[in-house]
């Protein structure tokens, strides 16, 4: 096959891969995490977990000096589990079955009064002031308040978009591989052709 044909084929495959990659952009992770006060006054962290997702790690940090510049801030409270659990509600200060607890500074708030909470994968998701939490309204990680039933009802749409993004991502891989092979082959053929013409 001529280098020109390989180049055109490689660019076409790359275009398809990039188009599929746009579809692989899923919903914002911030839509799956929130904090609220329960009717009993306890602080709850709420998660939207899709399919067989499992919660392995929960961490609250104090937003101390230097936070965000390589300094993770002092741990206030955290849970950790190797097996994990499909757990969409965690009450701060209570340890679910199968989790280990580390307590450094409870009750909330910490010294800075601003608390950072992680998402289901242990990445920082949001920060909040305890005084700003409302009873039975979820303060979501994109910093909007939602009634609890509305937050929970958003799970269907959120998980559907995640599954769709995953399918697009898987579909893009063969086209990226094909584009890489074709463009590499086109380059090799062109170099060989130039070598022979000397």
Distance separating alpha carbons of residues 26 and 173, to the nearest angstrom: 16
Vertex 146: Cα angle to 142 and 152 (nearest 5)? 100
Going by C-beta distance under 8 Å and a sequence separation of 6 or more, which residues neighbour residue 158?
Answer: 27, 31, 32, 48, 50
What confidence score (pLDDT) does residue 68 get?
54
pTM of model > 0.75: no
What string of pLDDT tens digits covers the 198 residues of the chain?
A: 666 766 777 777 777 777 767 665 656 777 889 999 988 888 999 999 988 888 998 989 888 665 555 455 678 898 999 888 998 999 998 999 989 988 888 888 887 888 989 888 778 888 899 999 998 899 999 899 999 999 999 888 888 887 777 777 777 778 778 778 877 877 777 777 777 666
Q: Which of 34, 3, 18, 28 is nearest to 184 (CA)?
A: 3
Q: Where are the domains of the chain?
A: 3-25+161-197, 29-141
Distance separating alpha carbons of residues 44 and 152, to the nearest angstrom: 14
What confidence score (pLDDT) does residue 43 get?
92
Going by C-beta distance under 8 Å and a sequence separation of 6 or more, which residues neighbour residue 142?
Answer: 28, 30, 31
């Amino acid at each position: 096959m001529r280098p020109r044909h390989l180049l055109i084929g490689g660019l076409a495959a790359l275009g398809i891969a990039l188009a599929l990659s746009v579809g692989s952009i899923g919903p914002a992770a911030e839509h799956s995490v929130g904090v609220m006060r329960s009717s009993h006054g306890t602080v709850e962290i709420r998660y939207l977990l899709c399919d067989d997702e499992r919660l392995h790690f929960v961490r609250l940090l104090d937003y101390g000096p230097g936070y965000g510049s390589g300094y993770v801030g002092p741990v206030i409270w955290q849970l950790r589990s190797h097996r994990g659990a499909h757990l969409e509600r965690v009450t701060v200060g209570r340890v679910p079955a199968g989790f280990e607890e580390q307590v450094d500074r409870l009750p909330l708030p910490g010294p800075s009064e601003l608390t950072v909470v992680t998402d289901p994968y242990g990445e920082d998701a949001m920060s909040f002031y305890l005084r700003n939490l409302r009873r039975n309204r979820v303060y979501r990680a994109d910093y909007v308040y939602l009634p609890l039933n509305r937050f929970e009802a958003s799970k269907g749409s959120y998980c559907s978009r995640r599954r769709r993004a995953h399918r697009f991502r898987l579909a893009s891989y063969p086209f990226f591989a094909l584009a890489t092979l074709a463009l590499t082959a086109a380059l090799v053929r062109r170099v060989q052709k130039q070598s022979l013409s000397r």
